[in-house]
Chain A
């Protein structure tokens, strides 16, 4: 068995078009997930008892469901509920955002609650106005705690984005399959696609490692 570089090279633009769509869908759903995460986190920490309950339920429900179920459920059932049919692309972006938002909410909550009470008390005792207490003391410490697990969620999101190919969204994995089927060169296209996914994710893991090293250097 030999690796046909030629065929990959010829069809690279088509594959890269898929990559572009993958990136767009990841960024879009990451944005929605961030919004959901902030809202649900605020609900869990600051809400009335009912809001807290609902926010906590959101997290536990959508962390438990398999992503394909959310994707297909939204695709087939949203017209029944929403009266409008979302495009496959829209469905995909939202369906990916729903569980990611649940994970992010939990990460944000844990990050904020991991800051020792003494930090807030020290800032208050210094007479820091609330905005500066958030900006100088809470946010930087919470971000440091949140960044590694958030990058983990982004990694999972990138991988799960391949699932929306099932709806016919022509992202990277979809293109790889189509090109493989058209040319009977699955081996080449799937291998190259795997490498592309790996290269998307590699910088994220590197960033996590870099941050962890920087922090541990500071605390020694």
Chain B
């Protein structure tokens, strides 16, 4: 798995779709990102691990413009962030996000949750969007819950709806911010399984996670963040077996 080529399956341009260079981010005087450089090619799966507060969420959130940054460069496709309002909307259509706490819209049915953005962001008709919602929900295995409200579903089911919702806009990239961290243990696997299948479809994935098994098995590269810095990034075998960094090996021995 880790030997999968980094270029897209169709073999076209291997220029990275996401490029960050020396990105710095301050919350007041506190420096949450201290010059992070990271790029991801089309179709690549990058997992990011690291202790709480190391800046994983902050990094992901700068990539779709949910969070501003103060220095450095971020380029998504051919847009340099922060772009114009129009460009940011376009970037967000290309870069979907799945949150730790699902953030489904509680006042809409599952179907509507998934169909909304294709209609409002991509200009599909409701009929087309509902059809797309049904297909995606079948793919993540919850088409039988399509007319329920999020509050009536389990956490694992809600997160799978959230993945379908993000996919419905047909993004090139999906950002996952600890997608299984607020799930009961017995529901973690059902979500990871959906993500595993997704990784084979050629979509680019950046995943902040504590699931080491998933990172080792699915990622093309694994990165370790600590204190606002991306300390080390390498293919999983090298990453887990050689433990190039002292702090990384301390972190891994604590968590594994």
* A141 CA / B103 CA spacing, docked (Å): 13
Decide yes or no: A136 and B116 within 8 Å by CB, A127-B89, A127-B92, A128-B121 being known contacts: yes
Q: Are A126 and B103 in contact (CB under 8 A)?
A: no
Interface size on A, residues (CB 8 A): 21
* A122 CA / B106 CA spacing, docked (Å): 12
* A121 CA / B162 CA spacing, docked (Å): 13
* A129 CA / B149 CA spacing, docked (Å): 24
Q: Are B107 and A144 in contact (CB under 8 A)?
A: yes
* A177 CA / B93 CA spacing, docked (Å): 66
* A123 CA / B169 CA spacing, docked (Å): 12
Q: Are B107 and A127 in contact (CB under 8 A)?
A: no
* Interface residue A132 (Cβ < 8 Å from any Cβ of B): yes
Q: Are B99 and A126 in contact (CB under 8 A)?
A: no
Q: Are A140 and B64 in contact (CB under 8 A)?
A: no
Q: Chain A nearest CB: distance from B104 CB in Å? A: 7
Q: Are A126 and B121 in contact (CB under 8 A)?
A: yes
Residue in contact with B89 in the complex, picked from A116, A129, A136, CB distance below 8 Å? A129
Q: Chain A nearest CB: distance from B10 CB in Å? A: 24
Residue in contact with A125 in the complex, picked from B92, B101, B120, CB distance below 8 Å? B92
Interface size on B, residues (CB 8 A): 29
* Interface residue A119 (Cβ < 8 Å from any Cβ of B): yes
Quick one: which of A200-219 are within 8 Å of B by CB? 218-219
* Interface residue B117 (Cβ < 8 Å from any Cβ of A): yes
Q: What B residues does A132 contact at CB under 8 A?
A: 120
* A118 CA / B104 CA spacing, docked (Å): 9
Quick one: which of A76-118 are within 8 Å of B by CB? 116, 118
Q: What A residues does B91 contact at CB under 8 A?
A: 127
Q: What B residues does A125 contact at CB under 8 A?
A: 64, 66, 92, 96-97, 99, 166
Decide yes or no: A219 and B121 within 8 Å by CB, A121-B66, A124-B66, A141-B107 being known contacts: no
Identify 13 new A-B residue pairs, CB closer than 8 A, beyond the known A126-B96, A126-B116, A127-B89.
A122-B105, A124-B65, A125-B166, A126-B117, A132-B120, A136-B120, A141-B105, A141-B107, A218-B152, A219-B149, A219-B152, A220-B151, A220-B152
